[in-house]
Amino acid sequence: MASEYSTRSDIDTAVATSRDTFRGGRTKDVRYRKWQLKQLYWLVADNRTAFIEALHKDLGRPEFESRLSIKGLEDDIIYHVKHVEQWAKGETPKSGFLFTKIGTTHIRHEPRGVVFIIGPWNFPDSLTLAPLAAAIAAGCTALIKPSELAANIADLVVRLAPKYLDSDSYRVVTGGASETQYMLSHKYDHVFFTGSTPVARHVAAAAAKHLTPTVLELGGQCPAIITKSANVDLAAKRIAAAKFMNAGQICLSVNHVFVDSAVHGGFVKRLQHWNQQFTSEGENDTMCTIINERNHARLEGLLNRTKGKVVYGGTGHDHNLLKMKTTVVDNVSMSDSLLSEELFGPLLPIIEADYKRAVEIITSMPHPLALYIFSHDQSEIDYVLNNTLSGGVTINDALLHAAVPEVPFGGVGDSGMGAYHGKHGFDTFTHKRVVTGMPDWLDRFMGFRYPPYNLENSSPITAFPKAPFKRGESLEEQLVGGGGLKVFGVLVVLGGIGAVAAWVGGVNVGWLVEWIGFR
């Protein structure tokens, strides 16, 4: 495969062409963006069968899972087509009389420029082409590098892209670690990476040399918490299903489970039951393969070193076919081999702990991309939410918060930075450029701004503001929520009284307001 990778000359040409195209302004035209988004849609829709077959060759993925991934990608592209014109219009802020009535202020939504998108191997279709849809919508040009580990999808995208997309604007480049390192030596206007945290550190370091902004879509050890109030059977069913999907090779997948001792035994039994149900027709025929020998060996090594008790699976792994059975390991400690790194596979360690102890452990570790809470007690849910931080949360299910339309998807800390999906992807590749204009005639009233300065003439401008609150307030006196509305209502009433009084008897309204303590 290495001989088929992009050469340095290919990469140089792709970067230069993308840069020249962007400078020419072609991609800024909203009609062009719509056209290319529609072409991207047809690239996928016309070749659904080819994508399904390539995903099966690369990952052994069952057609159902592939169809879900492709459908999600098509839905996302259509959403961009429908909204790109609205998003591209920019914004007019509410910035006061001077800047929006006398003058003008507008926020232009400008494309950042040339972007570099590095796709992952676990969802090499959607997680590579969805960021491209956002870049097209924003008016950028792009270099797209599919993962070399999903070679069949990479080959398909290389073959299809020039047939559907404008090759001057959107180029597919290929390669392994050395080629990617060379690609990152070039200056881009944005780098979008999906992959592991260790590789992300290299990507971020390379981008930092050019002060290039990045989005890093990573992963982490995503925990699930099963409290004593949870629906244990449904929790086991949904976690088992999430772990089965893509053989656990999902950045959002449940990495390990904390289970309250009151429901621990029942949860483990139901987990065994649902795993048996999901694999009753032959696991090797329906479950994805592990991506390569290195990762298969890594997972086997972690399992061989565990001090926990294997209660389901653990045998029958096929190294030649890169198959691995779903394996549940109970009585695992936090120092166990299975918790030494992100698993990214069909292994599921169980830790016996109540939700408060689980929170202590979670907060001692890097922030995960996802957190899953299974509970029917709102106080338990609130405690977990108020005392942890993660990229996203799903309550009483798994994975679903990433499927909600028009909400940001991304990590925090070691699980990533930046976000996309819907308009959030458009915003990622967009620079918000403020443009303010003032009329010439205003200058006759603005003499105070020019040297030599005269404080007497500029006193209305240089006067310091009066705080709309009292000195020495306590924490208990702070108003939030409805309290602010009450104050607003009082001000409206008093303002009305003052206006009537001034109209009737010439009362000094400023004195009245100062007298009641609001100035």
For residues 100 and 323, is the Cβ–Cβ distance under 8 A? no
The larger pLDDT score, comparing residue 383 to residue 449, is at 383
Nearest to 244 by CA among 109, 38, 61, 83: 61
| Position 489 confidence tier, pLDDT thresholds 50, 70, 90 | very low
Residue 504 above 50 pLDDT?
Answer: no
Distance (Å, rounded) from C-alpha 314 to C-alpha 330? 12
CA 511 to chain centre: 53
| Position 161 confidence tier, pLDDT thresholds 50, 70, 90 | very high
**The pLDDT of residue 499:** 39
DSSP letter at 144 equals E
Burial class, 139, CB count within 10 angstroms (exposed 0-12 / middle 13-18 / buried 19+): buried
Burial class, 470, CB count within 10 angstroms (exposed 0-12 / middle 13-18 / buried 19+): exposed
Burial class, 518, CB count within 10 angstroms (exposed 0-12 / middle 13-18 / buried 19+): middle
Nearest to 166 by CA among 41, 39, 42, 76: 39
Mean pLDDT of all residues belonging to the chain: 91
Share of the chain above pLDDT 90, in %: 81
The larger pLDDT score, comparing residue 101 to residue 235, is at 235
Residue 370 above 60 pLDDT?
Answer: yes
**The pLDDT of residue 415:** 98
| Position 327 confidence tier, pLDDT thresholds 50, 70, 90 | very high
Share of the chain above pLDDT 70, in %: 91
**The pLDDT of residue 490:** 42
Lowest mean pLDDT among 85-99, 314-328, 358-372, 388-402: 314-328
Residue 511 above 50 pLDDT?
Answer: no
What is the CB-side half-sphere exposure of residue 133 using CA atoms within 13 A? Answer: 33
| Position 487 confidence tier, pLDDT thresholds 50, 70, 90 | very low
**The pLDDT of residue 500:** 37
**The pLDDT of residue 446:** 82
Q: Is 303 helix (H, G, I), strand (E, B) or coil?
A: helix
CA 219 to chain centre: 11
Lowest mean pLDDT among 86-95, 139-148, 175-184, 460-469: 460-469
**The pLDDT of residue 280:** 67
Tokens 């403020």 belong to residue: 434
The larger pLDDT score, comparing residue 193 to residue 101, is at 193
For residues 139 and 169, is the Cβ–Cβ distance under 8 A? no
Cα distances (angstroms) measured from residue 295 to each of 317, 427, 479: 13, 35, 54
Distance (Å, rounded) from C-alpha 416 to C-alpha 508? 58
Of 217, 283, 352, 380, which is the active-site residue? 217
Of 65, 148, 179, 251, which is the active-site residue? 251
Residue 184 above 80 pLDDT?
Answer: yes
Angle value at C-alpha 158, between 153 and 162, nearest 5 degrees: 135
**pLDDT one-digit tens code per residue, 410-450:** 999 999 999 999 999 999 999 999 999 999 999 888 888 88
Lowest mean pLDDT among 251-255, 296-300, 330-334, 489-493: 489-493
- Show Cβ contacts of residue 494 under 8 Å, excluding neighbours closer than 6 positions: 512, 513, 516, 518
Residue 220 above 90 pLDDT?
Answer: yes
DSSP letter at 330 equals E
**The pLDDT of residue 15:** 98
- Mean pLDDT across 380-394: 99
For residues 27 and 429, is the Cβ–Cβ distance under 8 A? no
Q: pTM, whole model, 2 decimals?
A: 0.89
- Mean pLDDT across 304-332: 90
**The pLDDT of residue 483:** 52
Per the annotation, the verdict on 217 as an active-site residue is: yes
Residue 218 above 60 pLDDT?
Answer: yes
**pLDDT one-digit tens code per residue, 18-32:** 999 999 999 999 999
What φ, ψ does residue 35 adopt, rounded to 5°?
A: -60, -45
Burial class, 73, CB count within 10 angstroms (exposed 0-12 / middle 13-18 / buried 19+): buried
**The pLDDT of residue 482:** 65
352 - beta bridge partners? Answer: 259
- Mean pLDDT across 449-465: 82
